[in-house]
Chain A
Amino acid sequence: EDKVVQSPLSLVVHEGDTVTLNCSYEVTNFRSLLWYKQEKKAPTFLFMLTSSGIEKKSGRLSSILDKKELFSILNITATQTGDSAVYLCAVEDQGGSQGNLIFGKGTKLSVKP
């Protein structure tokens, strides 16, 4: 059965800390792994990863994929209170023309001032 497991489920840090969020997966026909930030309404897209070992970076956020070990990490450096959110990992498999997104349960990050 396809699955996506995120850890930790919740995390409390102080401003300025660096955090690493984990996502491991088991899917039959991997296409891509996506990270989302969810505060309100729709999750905001952060990264799409398709190739192993290539780091994607956006400001203080970065992410990398390991297709051999079947996991990805999302790093946030110098955290700010505005980083408080639920971070979702989703894996897309090759099923059908629209793909098939399988979501993890999310990591709830709280950044204290």
Chain B
Amino acid sequence: NAGVMQNPRHLVRRRGQEARLRCSPMKGHSHVYWYRQLPEEGLKFMVYLQKENIIDESGMPKERFSAEFPKEGPSILRIQQVVRGDSAAYFCASSPGLAYDTQYFGPGTRLTVL
């Protein structure tokens, strides 16, 4: 019973490049949440998605960041024109049914922007 999977685990980008982070929820889970952990800080909520729908993106920067959770395939967090301040660990969590139900966290993707 595979848990939440994220890839890549480590991603290095130069300023101005695009970063794509993938999250495959646990089997049977239809809710996905993305969080960002900045150095020395806690987890910051970014976006909550269900299949083909963005439910809550109140924590996501208005520019350069976007997220999707298509009918087929993993959820993608996309960061365009990355800057050094985007360097962080990005965690994905999934839950089975009710909104904000118990969330299971993935291992995270560590993004480093050079």
| Set B42, B45, B89, B112: member contacting A99, Cβ < 8 A | B89
Contacts of A105 in B (CB 8 A): 104
Interface residues on B, range: 20 to 34
Stretch at the interface among A12-20, A22-30, A37-45: A37-45
A19 to chain B, nearest CB (A): 17
Q: Is B100 within 8 A of A43, CB to CB?
A: no
Query: How far, in angstroms, from A36 to B37 measured CA to CA in the complex?
Result: 13
A109 to chain B, nearest CB (A): 11
Query: How far, in angstroms, from A44 to B102 measured CA to CA in the complex?
Result: 14
Q: Is B42 within 8 A of A106, CB to CB?
A: no
From 72 to 98 in chain B, residues with beta carbon under 8 angstroms from any chain A beta carbon are 87-89, 91
Q: Is B8 an interface residue (CB 8 A)?
A: no
Q: Is A97 within 8 A of B59, CB to CB?
A: no
Q: Is A98 within 8 A of B42, CB to CB?
A: no
A98 and B43 contact, Cβ closer than 8 Å, known pairs A40-B100, A106-B102: no
Contacts of A102 in B (CB 8 A): 107
Q: Is B39 within 8 A of A86, CB to CB?
A: no
Contacts of A11 in B (CB 8 A): none
| Set A36, A39, A98: member contacting B88, Cβ < 8 A | A98
| A→B interface (CB under 8 Å) | 36, 38-45, 86, 88, 90, 96-103, 105-106, 108
Q: A41-B45, A100-B89 are in contact. List 6 more A-B contacts (CB 8 A).
A: A41-B59, A41-B100, A97-B39, A98-B87, A98-B110, A101-B108
